[in-house]
Amino acid sequence: MRTQVVIVGGGPSGLLLGQLLHRAGIEAVVLERKTRAYVLGRIRAGVLETGLVRLMERAGVADRLHAEGFVHDGTEIAWEGGSFHVDFKALTGTPVIVYGQTEVTRDLYDAREAAGAQTIFEVEDVVIHDADTDHPFVTLTRAGQSLRIDCDFVAGCDGFHGISRQTIPLSVRREYEKTYPFGWLGVLSETPPVHDELIYANSARGFALCSMRNANLSRYYIQCALSDHPGDWTDDAFWAELKRRLPPDVAERLVTGPSIEKSIAPLRSFVTEPMRWGRLFLCGDAAHIVPPTGAKGLNTAASDVHYLIDGLVRHYHDGDDEGLERYSERALLRVWKAERFSWWFSGLLHRYPHMAPFDLKMQQADIAFLRDNEAQQRAFAENYVGLPY
Active site residues: 72, 200, 292, 296, 384
Nearest residue to 39 via CA among 112, 138, 90? 112
Q: Which phi and psi angles does 266 have, rounded to 5°?
A: -70, 160
Spatial distance between the Cα atoms of 194 and 356, rounded to a whole number of angstroms: 33
What is the C-alpha to C-alpha distance for residues 315 and 372, in angstroms, rounded to an integer?
48
Residue 344 exposure: Cα atoms within 13 Å on the Cβ side:
14
Helix axes 12-23, 50-58, angle to 10 degrees: 40
Query: For residues 130 and 135, what is the distance between their CA atoms, to the nearest angstrom?
Result: 7
The rounded distance, in Å, linking the Cα atoms of 97 and 302 is 14
Q: Is 246 helix (H, G, I), strand (E, B) or coil?
A: coil
* Residues 181 and 307 sit within 8 Å (Cβ to Cβ): no
Percent composition of the chain: helix, strand, coil (DSSP 3-state, to 5): 40, 30, 30
As a whole number of angstroms, the distance between CA 5 and CA 27 comes to: 6
- In angstroms, rounded to a whole number, what is the distance separating the alpha carbons of residues 288 and 389? 17
CA distance 368 to 57: 38
d(CA 298, CA 15): 12
Give the H/E segment covering residue 107: helix 101-115
Classified as helix, coil or strand, 7 is strand
Task: Round to whole Å and give the CA distance between 177 and 276.
Answer: 19
- The answer to whether 77 and 367 have CB atoms below 8 angstroms apart is yes
Compute, in degrees rounded to 10, the torsion defined by CA atoms 220, 335, 388, 201: 20
